[in-house]
Every structure is written in structure tokens, then in C-alpha cells.
Structure 1
Amino acid sequence: MDLDRTVEAMGAAGAAYKQFVMEMNAIRTRLEPLLRISHPNLLELARRGSLSLAPFLFRTLGSVVSKLPREIVDAVTIWSHIAGQPIDQAPSAMAFVPALIHCVGAFVPADGMRAIPQALAENARRAGVEIHCGKPIHKIADLECDAVISNYNGIGTYDELVDTPDRIRKKLRAMPLQSPGLCAYLKAKSSGGPYLRFRVNRGLQLRVTTKDTVRMIMPFDRNTSEQEQSAELQRMLGDPWWRDGLSDVKLLHSRTVRGWGREMHLYRDSMNLAMTRQMMLRGRLPHRSPWIKGLYLAGASTHPGQWVSFCAISGILAAEMLHADHAAGSI
């Protein structure tokens, strides 16, 4: 995204925004190597000459943006609000989002996101793997093996599929979970206007418009009943504000919190762990299980491994771990 154009559109707040983006990008660049480590710590920071950044990592998003103009705070923290998370609980690293948008950018395959699973599937078939989609399971066979890659969500693997020590299971079950919220997919003719529009009315409501498609998103409590979720979804769609600049609107599909969990096989209907400051410092679930020898996780904490983007990468990293362990003779 063009940083100078964004700065110009912000008027008097533009200079402060540009300085903030550049400062966050400098910190992000120094911390980038830690993305490849499951549980980064102060020692890893020191090895890379970045120990001076430790205080930043212990801060919250709210404290990082506290001295910025109000309009910049609202823009930078929108993603925290979409997750239904107070900015004083969100981690400081969420301040990297503007730096990623302006300094790295977003990349999509020429043939769309579908090209990623297609490429992975084709590579698997060339290696002799048979892939059967939508097939009912008639029989389960037990086979002895040296290693297992779980395509189920990470927490669910430990909580539901394998014998996990009680203290570990209790710890994993206590992790704070983020709701996927309510979502509606629509087709409409747009007269133009911004890609992103939002307002606060009985909670945050967000409209994302791309060409002739529209998505409506609203954070919502995952512990409510499906009836309550459906009722709130209908209220969101019945509110006229989001139809501004749209015509020939047609609802294609909608999802409640429970619908997300059911259709996407999410752990306890959750869309990721709630990314708090404490959770970021604790680190993610390792791809190689520290508790069960020979177990590797292809999924994310709450998502199965067939999800595109971070879960596809998670599966690749799990496979790399397995290959490395096999080559070293440890399995």
C-alpha cells in the first residue's frame, strides 16, 4: 500500500503516522528471525543483538499507541477490535500491522489462494499419496509406525486424540480462545467508495467490499447459544448502514460462531488463541511434540492443517521437522 498516499489522506496526523510506521518497521525487521522459533526467549534476543527490544515485547498495543493522535489509534487498533480484544490486553507486536502493509505488502498467487492447496495436492500425488475428499469412514485400522503427523487442530490433538498428561491437558484447556464472530458473504453492485468501512453499534460491525463481493463481519461471544448468534446475525444484516453505495444485494452464505466451528472443524468453535501479551511471550505450540515422541502437528492451535495460509505453512514446517528427525536417526 502506498504510504505517502495514506499519509497525505491523514492530513495533520500524517507525519506522525509515517514516523510510527517507520519505527515499527525497524523493530519488526530486527525481530523477524524469531518468527522461526517456537518459544523465543531473552537468550535468543541477545544472540541476535536485539536485547534492547525486550521492553517493547513486554508492552501492550495500547501503551505503544498511547501518544499517537486519536485517528491513528483508531486505525492501528481496528484489527484488535475485530478480534473482540481490548487494546490494553493485545500484544505490542500488533503495532507491526501498518509496517507490514506499507513496507512488505500483501502477496496473492496469480491464480488465487486456491493455487496453494492445488500445488500441495499435486506434489503429494507425485509422491504417491492418494487423496480422497468427502469420503465416509467405514473402518479404522491400527498401524504401528515411528511417527504421526496430526492434521487435526493442535489443542484438540492433545485434548481429544492422544494420551496427554493431565497437567498438560489442563493447561491447554485453560488457554483463552478467540471467537470467529459472525460473517455474511454477499454479492452486490458497488458505486465505489472505500474497501473497508466499519462502525460501532451493539459492538463493532465491519464491511469489506471488493469488486462485486461484500463481506460483513461482527465479533461475537463464542459462549452464546446458536439461537442468539443467528438472531444477532439477522440484526446485523437488517441494519441499513452497510448498504450505502450498494445495489442488487444478494446474500450468498452466512456463518454463526457455531457454524464456523462446525464447518471448519475448529477447536471449541474458536478462531485462534486470544493473542494477549502473555500469550505472545509464551509462544506457539511446537510442531514437534515435546510430550509425545514421534508426534508432529500440521494444524494450528485451533485450526486443522488443511486451512490455507498459516496452517499450510504449519504443515510444511511439521514435515521439515519429521524429515530432520528421520535423517538424524532420532525416530
Structure 2
Amino acid sequence: MKPNNVVIVGGGASGLAAGIHLARQGVRVKLFEARDTLGGCCSTSNVDGYTFNNGAMFVAVPRLLDHAFARLGLDRSALLPLRRIATPQASVLPDGTKITLGDRHRVRVDGERGDSRTATLQAEIERCVSKWNPLLKIFIDDLLTQPMSIARVISKAWRHLPKLRGNFADELKRSFSDPQARAALAAVTLYTGLPADRTPVFLIVGLISLLEDGLHLPEGGMGSVSRVLETTFRQLGGEVHTSTPVARIRIEGGRARGLTLENGEDIAADAVISTASGMSTFSRLIEPANVPRAMQRRVQRAPLSHRTLSIQLGLTNSLQPAAHSVNHIPLMDEQQRLLAPQPGRIEWFNYTVPTQPMPELAPSGGSIVEMFTAVDEHLPLDAWSEETKAATADAAIAALARYQPLAIATKRITSPKDYAEGMHLFGGAVYGLSPAARPDQQFPHVTPVDGLYLAGQTTYPGFGVATSVFSGVFAAEALIGQ
């Protein structure tokens, strides 16, 4: 039976998507968000005239976003115009060789024998794209538009299953002859916090999507995605309560009956969708006596993603780097060095300049730089004092300053502790679950607690705006029995 009243915990992209889907079915929906704005990790903040990302930095796999919006009854192209990033990534190798990845398969090697190496790399990329593009299409147009099912993967992609053995590094070694080219291509997935030899091979579809479909920024910045979703949710009658933290999900008689807010108010509901991580939902939002043992075990065994320190700089000068994102990296087999703290002088780092493709995100003549630097994963969250943050950030900024002029007008530094307390990310882990998490380590949309459903990254294989939206759709569909 379709519920009449549903409450949603969390106002990120997944919570808003769930709310839209339910509201279109005539369900009364109330959404509660602890922060004073919606959007979660798909939002932006204006700091002294600079538009900083609060998480997501670009839209990858735009066709999947089109599918997600269509499931919500929205025309993505009309409501959310995207600007293609002409040159997504460039990598600088130890000997100064630079390898640039453009969209539509365009690549360039600047270094010794650059022209001949470019021709070889281009040919190898064409073969790699030809090999993996059929599987990419299956993922985008079918598998990722439905809740993950091993049986469905086998039935739809059985011809491609032999490709999925091994890891990303293995595939790059098979497909590319130039060690420096392999390093540049491996850098595409370093955002996961894993080196290529620990990255599941299926994540190569992200590289193929970059080469085929490119990366994009929504007009107005990443916050435009959530603004479109918020506007739609409100137009459909959804109630939004910001600055309203949830203390508990109320479980009575083995069923979710609503929420208790931190101010003590009880909110009754027929069902609850929690977009907090599965770990937070079952370790913090539900009384321990009401947590099923299977979920206790899943929380205890959850493989978390990495932590990081975010550094965002607003500059008064204009930077024109070789690409939207620039890596200074060692060869592929040594890239763990970029993912671990570098005592003393930092040699390996990445930085992104969103104002390269979208200068209007900064005041006229200015730029924005975003960096994520590796941290000691064993450092307790409480150890992240303001002094520790500043010292860690200063070392990374000094590394960048060796290559780019930095006239810093403002900065925002976000530590793992800030991610945990300000963004409510469990343990300060930037993605929740590790990208290497197995399907059985993800949390189910339909939980063992009647009336309780989950959405968000810990319920869905992958990262990004489209997958966040789909996770909300899946939870809403499960709730109303579609």
C-alpha cells in the first residue's frame, strides 16, 4: 500500500531526488537537513565572491545524468545546461614530459619524441575505447539505471565478463606501451584514493567515458544541479526543513514510524528514507537495540574510503593551466606516493582550476584552485587542530607555488574533522564506502527494518551526481513498490 506521509533525512541530491519521485506519486514528503542549505556534496558556497565546490567538482557520464533526470520527469538539457570541459586533464611526469588528455580522444605527448609517441598513444587509445565502449554503453543505458544485481550484470554483460578480471593497472599494462602514458591514464582514477593496482578494472569505464563523452560543468557551477532539484521538489509541494538536525529515526514495534529531531520534536511518518550513510544510519540514528545484527556487522566491516585535506584558494590573478585538472605524478607503479603523506617537500600533487573552463566562478581577472592532499589515515579526527590544518595546507600550497603564481585573496581549508562534523561524512571519509567495496558490502535500499529505506553513496556502486540521483530514485521506487 502506498504510504501517505514520508520523511527524508538529508537534503543532498539523493534526498531531493527521492522527494521528487515520491511527490510526483502524490505522497506528502517532508525533508530534514541539518545544514542551513541543501545540496550536500553537490553544492557550492560563495566565499568573498569566489564560488567554491562543497564536494562534487564536475559532471562525468552526462548520458547517465540525462537518464536520471528523465526518471524524475525532468528535461536535463533545458533545466541544467552543461558546459563541456575542452581539456579535462594534463599530467606532468618526473622528467618534465607532459601528457594532455582532451575530449573526443584528443591526446598530446610533449617531451622526447613527442610526435611519434602521440601517434602511438592515439592509436592505442582508439583500440582501448573500441574494446571497452560496448560495456560502457551497457552500464550507462541499462545496468546503472537499475538497482545493482549480479544476476542482471551476468545477463546483460556476460560477453564482457572476461574483461573484468584483474585490476586497472593490469589493463593499462596490456593496452598501453608507454610507461609515462600509463601513468597519465592511471591518474584519471586517483580521485578514488586508490592506486591503479588496487582499483577494480571496471572503473576503466570512467576513463572511457572521459575520452568519449568528456567532463562537464553545469552553467553556474555544481550547485546548479541541486538548485534545479530543490526548485522542482518545492514546486511539487515538498516541505523543506533546513538547520534541522535529526536525533533519531523512531522504531516502534519493529517498524520505522518517523523521526525525533534534536530539538525534541517528534515527526510521525508512514516510512523513512535516510540518505545519511548506511554507517551513520545504523550507528547513530537508530537506537542500538533496534539495529538488526546483519546491519551491525555491515557497519563494523564497512571498508571506508580515504580521508583528505581540501584546500580551496581564491586568487586575484588569472591562472591558465594546461587543463582543468593538472597532476604532478610519478610512474604508475609508484603512485601510492601521491596518495600518502609526503614529509618535507611535496613532489606529487594534483590541482584543479574550475575557472579555466568557467571563469565567471571568480571575480573578474581572478581564479579558483582546488587541491586535495593526502593525510595520515591513522590520525584521530580530534587531532585536526587549526594549526595542523594550516601546516598541512601550507606544504601543499608551497608545492603548487613552485609552478603557478598565487595571489591569494581568500582560502578555505577543510580537514577530515570538518568533513565529519560539518558535512556529516562518517569518519571523515570523503566517499563513505571505498570504491573497492564489494556489492555485499554496500547497504541495501530496502533495509531489514520495515518502513526504513536508504539512499546515497553507500547504497550504490560508484560516485558522482547521476549515481546520487539514481540512489534516491531507487529508494523511492522500492518504498512505493514500483
Q: CA deviation at 1:234?
A: 2.5
- Residue 152 of structure 1 corresponds to 276
Once structures 1 and 2 are overlaid, which stretch shifts more, 4-13 or 97-106?
Answer: 4-13
Alignment of 1:171-190 (within 5 A): 171-188=298-315, 189-190=317-318
Alignment of 1:25-40 (within 5 A): 25-32=133-140, 33-40=142-149
CA distance in 2, matches of 1:183, 1:302: 25
- Residue 193 of structure 1 corresponds to 321
Q: CA deviation at 1:142?
A: 5.5
Larger RCO, structure (CA 8 Å, separation 6 or more): 2
Equivalent residue for 1:102, pick from 211, 225, 233: 211
Structure 1: stretches of 5+ with no match in the other structure: 326-331
Question: Cα gap change, 1:182/1:214 in structure 2, threshold over 3 Å: closer, same or farther?
Answer: same
Alignment of 1:243-258 (within 5 A): 244-258=403-417
Please say if residues 306 and 430 of structure 2, whose CA atoms lie closer than 8 Å, have aligned partners that are also in contact. yes
String of CA shifts for 1:282-305, please: whole Å, max 9, x gaps.
47433222x1121111332299xx
Question: Cα gap change, 1:171/1:151 in structure 2, threshold over 3 Å: closer, same or farther?
Answer: closer
Structure 2: stretches of 5+ with no match in the other structure: 1-101, 111-116, 246-261, 330-337, 356-366
Equivalent residue for 1:51, pick from 146, 155, 158: 158
Alignment of 1:268-307 (within 5 A): 268-272=427-431, 273-276=433-436, 279-282=437-440, 284-289=442-447, 291-301=448-458
Secondary structure of the residue aligned to 1:184 is strand
Question: Cα gap change, 1:253/1:19 in structure 2, threshold over 3 Å: closer, same or farther?
Answer: same
Once structures 1 and 2 are overlaid, which stretch shifts more, 162-171 or 224-233?
Answer: 224-233
Secondary structure of the residue aligned to 1:186 is strand
Question: Cα gap change, 1:108/1:122 in structure 2, threshold over 3 Å: closer, same or farther?
Answer: same
Q: CA deviation at 1:19?
A: 1.7
Identity of aligned residues (%): 20
String of CA shifts for 1:295-324, please: whole Å, max 9, x gaps.
111332299xxx965434422332232233
Question: Cα gap change, 1:120/1:31 in structure 2, threshold over 3 Å: closer, same or farther?
Answer: closer
Which structure has the highest strand share of the two?
2
CA distance in 1, matches of 2:291, 2:352: 42
Q: Is 1:139 matched with 2:261?
A: no
Q: CA deviation at 1:184?
A: 0.9
Secondary structure of the residue aligned to 1:190 is coil
- Residue 114 of structure 1 corresponds to 223
Secondary structure of the residue aligned to 1:2 is coil
TM-score if structure 2 supplies the norm length? 0.59
Question: Cα gap change, 1:64/1:85 in structure 2, threshold over 3 Å: closer, same or farther?
Answer: same
- Residue 81 of structure 2 corresponds to none
CA distance in 2, matches of 1:258, 1:209: 25
Q: CA deviation at 1:177?
A: 0.9
Question: Cα gap change, 1:286/1:260 in structure 2, threshold over 3 Å: closer, same or farther?
Answer: same
Letter in 1 for 2:265: I
Q: CA deviation at 1:135?
A: 5.0
CA distance in 2, matches of 1:172, 1:259: 22
Alignment of 1:2-81 (within 5 A): 2-6=103-107, 11=118, 12-32=120-140, 33-41=142-150, 43-48=151-156, 50-67=157-174, 68=176, 69-81=178-190
Please say if residues 168 and 202 of structure 2, whose CA atoms lie closer than 8 Å, have aligned partners that are also in contact. yes
Equivalent residue for 1:233, pick from 393, 412, 433: 393
Q: Is 1:209 matched with 2:368?
A: no
Secondary structure of the residue aligned to 1:244 is coil
- Residue 170 of structure 1 corresponds to 297
- Residue 317 of structure 1 corresponds to 474
CA distance in 2, matches of 1:275, 1:247: 33
Q: CA deviation at 1:275?
A: 1.5
Q: CA deviation at 1:262?
A: 1.8
Q: CA deviation at 1:169?
A: 1.1
Q: CA deviation at 1:254?
A: 1.0
Question: Cα gap change, 1:38/1:222 in structure 2, threshold over 3 Å: closer, same or farther?
Answer: farther
CA distance in 2, matches of 1:288, 1:181: 31
Letter in 2 for 1:147: A
CA distance in 2, matches of 1:102, 1:242: 30
Please say if residues 58 and 92 of structure 1, whose CA atoms lie closer than 8 Å, have aligned partners that are also in contact. yes
Please say if residues 179 and 257 of structure 1, whose CA atoms lie closer than 8 Å, have aligned partners that are also in contact. no
TM-score if structure 1 supplies the norm length? 0.82
Once structures 1 and 2 are overlaid, which stretch shifts more, 242-251 or 87-96?
Answer: 242-251
Letter in 1 for 2:472: G
Letter in 2 for 1:6: V
Question: Cα gap change, 1:295/1:151 in structure 2, threshold over 3 Å: closer, same or farther?
Answer: same
Please say if residues 76 and 97 of structure 1, whose CA atoms lie closer than 8 Å, have aligned partners that are also in contact. no
Which structure has the highest helix share of the two?
1
String of CA shifts for 1:250-306, please: whole Å, max 9, x gaps.
342111122222221001111221212xx24547433222x1121111332299xxx
Count the aligned residue pairs: 315
CA distance in 1, matches of 2:146, 2:168: 22
What RMSD in Å do the two structures reach over aligned CA positions?
2.9
